[in-house]
Structure 1
Amino acid sequence: MPELVPVLGRLTRQLDRPGGDTFLTHAAMRPFFSGCTQIGGEGTLLRNYDFDPADCEGTIVSSHFLRPVIGMQDASWGLLDGMNDAGLAGLAVSLTFGGRFVHGPGFAILIVLRYLLETCTGVDEAIGKLRSIPVAIPQNVTLVDSEKAVTVFVGPDIPLPEAPDACAANHQHLPVPDEQEQSSRTQERLSAIRAAGTDVAALLKPPLYRSRFDEGWGTVYTAHYRPSKGRVTYYWPGESWEQRFDDFAPGSRTMIIGQAG
């Protein structure tokens, strides 16, 4: 990801901590395993991010390193999901954990999503770059522009196969072990989002909306990206917050989560 090296240098000079430059590369980071469900189609990307809210940064960021990007930030400058300003096409990307507990050399997917949004103008270009970047743990990446929506599987032990359709939960291959299905409901959620399509209301209700926060797995937010329009709306039960490239509004919100509408 050579285009990010000058940005890394600028950010490193602003840090006052030993090893800050290594941390910002997102190489050899401690693995994290999240839930999540996502779907793309007709120029829109819709996703639920399921995690322990105590460990979620909860920062919507508007940045301009190499180009304007809006997204949900994590680990200083990584992204859980986001979009760029690539003209009428635009590009939006998001991640879900791939469901397989393997680990290898490579980068955290957070910095890879940042890289794709900083350097790519569409889905095909982004997939081409993904083929050359090692990713440390299995992840499902959904990519959307105005003409195409694709989900690809990445990981340290597989090539870059495409999913049958542009949606993902938390598995890559079938069959899913019974114990894993009971804890994650990944197949159930994937079936539900396929049936619902890009319907925001469906993601704010079970089984897609999850409220098992006592077990560390709940829906922290729902994001609806429309990259060709330069708009994203974040949803919680009974609340929403839109941000746009042409009118980004700094501020903060306090949300009550765990109660599906």
Structure 2
Amino acid sequence: MDHHLVFHALDGGDGTDGRWAGPVLASLPAQVERWLPEAGRTPEAERAAHARFAAHMPELLPVLDLFTAQAGGAPGAVPLLAQVGLNNPFGACTQVGGVAGTLLRNYDWDLGQRERTVVRSRLLRPVLGMTEGFWGLLDGMNDAGLAVSLTYGGRTVHGDGFAMPIVLRYLLETCATVAQAVAALGRLPVATAQNVTLVDAEQAVTLYLGPDIAPVRAPDACAANHQHLPVPQEQERETRTHARLAGVRAAAAAAGKDPEAVVAALLRPPLHEAPREGGYGTAYTAAYRPADGLVTYHWPGEEPWRQSFADFRPGTREVTVRGPAAD
């Protein structure tokens, strides 16, 4: 079955003029209902989330307070925007960093449930990426030439930490290099098992993260949906995580210094997931060139969509994500 998706591009500026607040105000009650357990909707939980954010991400606390104020003090706004104590989804993605300085990724999820909004902002510094959780990021880059991307780590552990999208926002707002981001990830508590790939002009690194482990550096800058620990056979059959990781590694090795060859592989099976029954599939393929401040989004059979710091074009982009070919 084909799926018709609309992606949005928004210039959020520094957040003070309300352009960015519109979508969250409109969807806040539904987002609270979906992502925030009842225990997180109390005044005590609001105060605890604010204090936790202040302790670990103080540089962004004025922005959190700004967005909370724009939400009118609605119940659950602070934990939702701080991304503390949320229900945590588990999905699949594939990513690879370091091919001629690029960060390349497939984002796989329920095609009807993501925000699908690309935002250019200048909160603490210029940042551009695909948002999640209003101001968190699934992937993105900053003006210093640092790019980051996440994938689910394949383990259903859960702890007292932040959802990874807000962690990626923090990294891009406060770090200029992979080394600085790696150091920050060493002290930030995360709620679930996640793999993060980081790229700058000098290096590319993938880290395995979780609430129960210290960060572990992967053998290369490639990630699917497992870490250094094995996954059950049933999980492998469902997600093909080892097969996808082997596929993206092979594509990167064969491509040499040609990232477009890796993008082509990401747009084909087995790396690209056509929508299954229920709508799960590859929502987009992103190719970040952080040194150039450029990201290009790809879909099979569709024209690429380019956005950059220098030439950012707000608006919408409609694409068709096609289902499996008929036998």
Cα deviation, 1:215-259, whole Å, max 9, x if unaligned, reads 453100000000010000000112210001011001101110135
Count of equivalent residues: 258
1:32 corresponds, among 72, 89, 110, to 89
Asked if the contact 2:79/2:85 (under 8 Å) is kept, the reply is no
SS state of the match for residue 138, structure 2? strand
2:312 corresponds, among 237, 245, 248, to 248
1:203 positional shift? 0.3
Assess, with a 3 A threshold, how the Cα gap between structure 1 residues 258 and 173 changes in structure 2: closer, same or farther: farther
TM-score relative to the length of structure 2: 0.77
SS state of the match for residue 80, structure 2? helix
1:188 positional shift? 0.4
Name 1:227's counterpart in structure 2. Answer: 290
More displaced 10-residue stretch of structure 1: 251-260 or 39-48: 251-260
Distance 2:137 2:117 in 1: 10
Asked if the contact 1:211/1:260 (under 8 Å) is kept, the reply is yes
Assess, with a 3 A threshold, how the Cα gap between structure 1 residues 260 and 59 changes in structure 2: closer, same or farther: farther
Whether 1:6 aligns to 2:62 is yes
Distance 1:236 1:77 in 2: 24
More displaced 10-residue stretch of structure 1: 167-176 or 53-62: 167-176
SS state of the match for residue 237, structure 1? coil
1:23 positional shift? 1.3
Name 1:168's counterpart in structure 2. Answer: 223
Which amino acid letter does the alignment assign opposite residue 321 of structure 2?
I
Describe how 1:84-95 pairs up with structure 2 within 5 A. Answer: 84-86=142-144, 90-95=145-150
Asked if the contact 1:34/1:97 (under 8 Å) is kept, the reply is yes
Name 2:24's counterpart in structure 1. Answer: none
Segments of 4+ in structure 1 off by > 4 A?
Answer: none
The answer for unaligned runs of 5 or more in structure 1 is none
Name 2:122's counterpart in structure 1. Answer: 64
1:176 positional shift? 2.6
SS state of the match for residue 256, structure 1? strand
Identity of aligned residues (%): 59
- Looking at secondary structure, tell me which structure has more helix per residue: 2
The answer for unaligned runs of 5 or more in structure 2 is 1-56, 253-258
Which amino acid letter does the alignment assign opposite residue 134 of structure 2?
S
Name 2:10's counterpart in structure 1. Answer: none
Whether 1:80 aligns to 2:138 is yes
Describe how 1:1-261 pairs up with structure 2 within 5 A. Answer: 1-16=57-72, 17-41=74-98, 42-86=100-144, 90-197=145-252, 198=259, 199-239=262-302, 240-259=304-323
SS state of the match for residue 214, structure 2? coil
- Structure of higher CA gyration radius: 2
Cα deviation, 1:157-191, whole Å, max 9, x if unaligned, reads 00111001000000002433210110000000000
Assess, with a 3 A threshold, how the Cα gap between structure 1 residues 51 and 226 changes in structure 2: closer, same or farther: same
Asked if the contact 1:96/1:168 (under 8 Å) is kept, the reply is yes
Which amino acid letter does the alignment assign opposite residue 252 of structure 1?
T
Which amino acid letter does the alignment assign opposite residue 93 of structure 1?
V
